[in-house]
Structure 1
Amino acid sequence: MGALSKRAAGAALIDANIGLFACPICQESMQVYDQGRLTCSANHSFDIAKQGYVNMLTHSAASKYSKDLFESRKTIIDSGLYDPLEEKIAELIGEVKTVLDTGCGEGSHLARILSQKQGIGIGIDIAKEGILAAARHYPKQIWCVGDLAKSPFAMTSFDVILNILSPANYEEFKRLLTSNGCVVKVVPQSGYLQQLRAQLYADSSKETYSNEQTVERFRESFSNVTIERITYTVPLASVLVPALLEMTPMGWHKAQHAEVTVNEITIDVDVLVGRV
């Protein structure tokens, strides 16, 4: 018997974890139908694509994130730039059964964090191009185009929710967490990518950055919060500079004639862990 198609393999993985899903329209439970669709008892239906991901958006959604951006993001993450951060997150979450990565993009962080773990990971993003790339590169996880404002997941489903350098929906996070679950949110600290910031935002208010408001909002949302700062500076090969610029909003506003030259880069972030 030949290998399963990507659609069939994705459908099988979803079916094995079907209890994590709920209809984003009516919140009823779901089932995989004929290896090609997720349906609920009210007959709301969502197609599993030939690449193995499922699109559960209930409305049209424009994304400013392109295929090139996600390819650049994967190149940078694969270079090892975020290895210490990913290792810290893997250490913090320990052995868990279910992990949801919100705003997962092309899925590299989730795949790398779970690479030595047994649990199942689901990545969700509103950007279809990111989920396409994730399904192509990381078939061991479940990938979903969706919007947490119209969540496609059942309540109390996830032991860990990751929110890495991405917008948050704390009320939905709390609905989705298991009783002992936690949210791991990564936010930039003042030195994050400071070498780029110094060149692209020189002599402007954006040359410096504060995450105080984001951290305060997180503290207000969870009763038990710990914060750990991770900061390090590593060499950056010149061939990676264009990819780094492509993946960060800082690079989107770079003037065409402006040259950016950096030979090292700083990662400086706060890792917030919140429990209800």
Structure 2
Amino acid sequence: MSTLENLSCPIDAAPLSRVERVLKCPHGHTYDLAKTGYINLLPVQNKRSKDPGDSKEMVAARQAFLNQQHYLPIVNAVLSSWPQGALSDKISLLDAGCGEGYYLDKLACQLSSQGIEVTRTGLDISKWAILAASKRDKDVSWVVGSNASLPMPEQSFDAVLCLFGFPVFDEFSRVLKDNGLLLLVESGADHLIELRRILYPAIHDYKPTFTSELSDFDLILEQAESFTFNLDSQAQIQQLLSMTPHIHKASYDGRAAAMLLNAITLTADIKLRWYRKKIKEVNHV
């Protein structure tokens, strides 16, 4: 059972301690565990909307799609590219923007099968994503929170994973241990290109979502992965659409054309970047 240890108060950054089903900070702020065991550490004042992040419907669509294992090759690419020498007998992972927990679950299962003890924390701004994740695996600390202000103390994790999420690099650096690893996974130029050609009258030039040069990190490995997968029903196609921004960005005509499809073969094109946190020099006076 998850202990929900090593968490900080999102209001004053004080350490949280657990008393039965409540987390408390020394200054009197309290946070109740949900029935499924997750904790909500996203204060009202930090929300930009009433229900931030993915909606209940988007989460359900993503869960249905991912559980069909179309993206399992991404899990395998993460494991095969993991920098040599960076895996020890025990490792603490933060999945920052974990969604409904698919990637963290699959990675932990494979790492555990190698005899590695994995302590896992999954954080997402969507309460619906964390609710779904908390039903998937009870051995993870599932947290509703924001990458912009991670409710964890400094140097808490050996690795931070951000797969198709919204990275906040100064926060990732803060919660990583010295020499800790950061993995960023983003879509490549040809990701879902076959579907995008149906949805849009023109395909825009590819632009990376972030630069490869980061001030607090050294890039140690960059890798591209590409594979194809088949969707053989309109329901599967709509599940994929509903879990992506395309459901909102595509034109009416594009969405209508996609609704006429009963099968499609798609390209998954992703980029993996592994970084190591730089050790900051301390100036002695």
TM-score when scaled to structure 1? Answer: 0.86
Match of 1:241 among 214, 237, 240: 237
Distance 1:199 1:222, change over 3 A: same
One-letter identity of the residue aligned with 2:265? E
- Alpha-carbon distance in structure 2 between the residues aligned to 1:107 and 1:51: 14
One-letter identity of the residue aligned with 2:221? T
C-alpha displacement of 1:209: 4.5
Structure 1 residues 149-164: aligned runs within 5 Å: 149-164=148-163
Q: Does 1:134 align with 2:119?
A: no
- Alpha-carbon distance in structure 2 between the residues aligned to 1:221 and 1:244: 35
Q: Does 1:51 align with 2:52?
A: no
- Alpha-carbon distance in structure 1 between the residues aligned to 2:231 and 2:246: 17
CA contact (8 A) 1:192 1:267 kept: yes
Alignment match, 2:118: 119
CA contact (8 A) 2:97 2:147 kept: no
- Alpha-carbon distance in structure 2 between the residues aligned to 1:200 and 1:73: 19
Structure 1 residue matching 2:246: 3-state secondary structure: helix
Structure 1 residues 1-276: aligned runs within 5 Å: 9-10=1-2, 13-14=3-4, 18=5, 20-33=6-19, 35-60=20-45, 61=47, 62=49, 63-93=52-82, 94-95=87-88, 96-116=90-110, 117=112, 118-203=117-202, 207-212=203-208, 214-216=210-212, 218-238=213-233, 239-254=235-250, 255=252, 258-260=256-258, 261=261, 262-276=263-277
CA contact (8 A) 2:8 2:152 kept: yes
> C-alpha deviations, 1:208-248, integer Å up to 9, x for none?
452335134x5445223321001111222224111001101
CA contact (8 A) 2:147 2:166 kept: no
In the alignment, structure 2 segments of 5+ residues that lack a partner are 278-285
CA contact (8 A) 1:25 1:150 kept: no
Alignment match, 1:6: none
Structure 2 residue matching 1:214: 3-state secondary structure: coil
- Alpha-carbon distance in structure 2 between the residues aligned to 1:132 and 1:70: 10
Structure with greater helix percent: 1
Distance 1:221 1:189, change over 3 A: farther
Percent identity, aligned pairs only, is: 27
